[in-house]
Amino acid sequence: MSLRGGSAIIGIGQAGLGEAHGRNAMELLGEAALAALEEAGLGLADVDGLLAATMNHTMPALSAAEYLGIRPRFAESTMFGGSSFECYVLSAAMALELGLCDVALIAYGSNQRTAAGKLVTMSTLEPYEAPYAPRYPISGYALAASRHMHQFGTTREQLAEVAVAARRWAALNPEAFMRDPLTVDDVLAARMISDPLTLLDCCLVTDGAAACVMVRGDRARDAPKPPAYVLGAAYAFWHRQISAMPDLTVTAASESGPRAFAMAGIGPGDVDVAELYDAFTINTILFLEDLGFCPKGEGGRFVEGGAIAPGGRFPVNTNGGGLSCVHPGMYGMFLLVEAVRQLRGEAGERQMPGAEVAVAHGNGGVLSSQSTVVLGTAATV
């Protein structure tokens, strides 16, 4: 039995992108959830599967079910960090296939920017890292960047290219938080936070909520919007602490990607648009390599010259990414939203013409949890 094409995303919703003054995390989650259901032509009473995470609730699915008034038959709140929502797509696909639920709602919400002004995290350092005071999570990514630069000759300019490409996409997205022009020199000259990463190598700290609705493939055909079918999904993780990562230049995306592509029956060369979890500029480079879009070590050279920016050879993070569009603590749900929009042809000025296959790749912790979802239009099923 394969899950390929057995389920689809038929509704997406967002709320409070950027700054959502006066709104709490659950209110934002709820607004995004209702928007996703409305798109799907469904209501709360139809939802019997609920997969939710926040950074404010210790039992997010319970809190979300209570808030929305849902009594789910199937639910998930497993904490994989920012990639949780890509993991939930696999769980929802399985639950739908098995008939454990008929309508699965995946949702996230955060008001961290207006409430705290910084990353809100329940993460704690282990006793073998805490005494050295790495700035969490950025120092973990900085260590990986240092290693990639040492081993492959990757440069700070190449890292900066990732941020510049994201900003150029953001300029085409009216929802993006940061849309002003950005240059490589701007990134290099920004305040150093944890070498070699400056402030502009780091994702935004915004508010925001996003949600999607999944149903079985047969039911998706009758949905008001073009479905985005789940062609493949897989996750992998090899460590939690950065000091336990086997090789700082190879993430577990090198395992999740091939498994997701195998389920989808396609390869990286078939992907029209990629949404890669860019909490930091090094992420995009690592995931381009590990998902097979370029050889290991070539990610820095791959992104040079605007190659992943609008008009480049391969479109990456077309909404502006976590670097320039939205990053409310956990970014994974927004990757799925943008992938679906591209497959529907709803992405406006930033639309990739004729996009049939999209990848949403989530990351959690300190390059710890890697989760790959391959989505396709009806033509790919």
Partner 1 sequence: MSGATPGPEQQYQAHLRDGRFMIQRSRSTGEHVFFPRLAAPGSGVRDLEWVAASGLGTVYATTCVRRRAERGGDYNVVLVDLDEGPRMMSRVDGVAPDGVWIGMRVKARIATADGEPLVVFDPAGEDAP
Closest CA relative to residue 137, chosen from 203, 235, 200:
203
Instruction: Give the DSSP H or E segment for 299.
Output: helix 299-302
Q: In angstroms, give the least distance from the CB of 206 to partner 1.
A: 23
Distances, alpha carbon 17 to alpha carbons 82, 109, 192, 215, 374, in Å:
17, 10, 27, 26, 25
Which residues, 87 to 126, sit near partner 1 by CB under 8 A? 126
State which of residues 59, 116, 192, 379 lies at the interface with partner 1 (CB under 8 A).
192
Q: Is 243 in the site for partner 1 (CB under 8 A)?
A: yes
Structure tokens at 335: 């990757």
Q: In angstroms, give the least distance from the CB of 191 to partner 1.
A: 7
> In this chain, which stretch among 105-113, 185-193, 202-210, 226-234 interacts with partner 1, using CB under 8 A?
185-193
Nearer to partner 1, 122 or 133 (CB): 133
x-marked contacts with partner 1 along 121-160 as a string, rule CB under 8 A = -----xxxx-xxxxx---x--xxx-xx--x----------
Q: Is 263 in the site for partner 1 (CB under 8 A)?
A: no
162/187 Cα distance (integer angstroms): 10
Nearer to partner 1, 24 or 243 (CB): 243
DSSP secondary structure letters along 81-124? TBTHHHHHHHHHHHHHHTTS-SSEEEEEEE-HHHHTSS------
State which of residues 25, 55, 213, 248 lies at the interface with partner 1 (CB under 8 A).
248
273/337 Cα distance (integer angstroms): 13
Closest CA relative to residue 100, chosen from 52, 48, 145:
48
Q: In angstroms, give the least distance from the CB of 372 to partner 1.
A: 24
205/192 Cα distance (integer angstroms): 17
Q: Which residues pair with 275 in a beta bridge?
A: 360
Site residue total, partner 1 (CB under 8 A): 27
Q: In angstroms, give the least distance from the CB of 114 to partner 1.
A: 25
What residues make contact with partner 1 under the rule CB under 8 A? 126-129, 131-135, 139, 142-144, 146-147, 150, 191-196, 241-244, 248
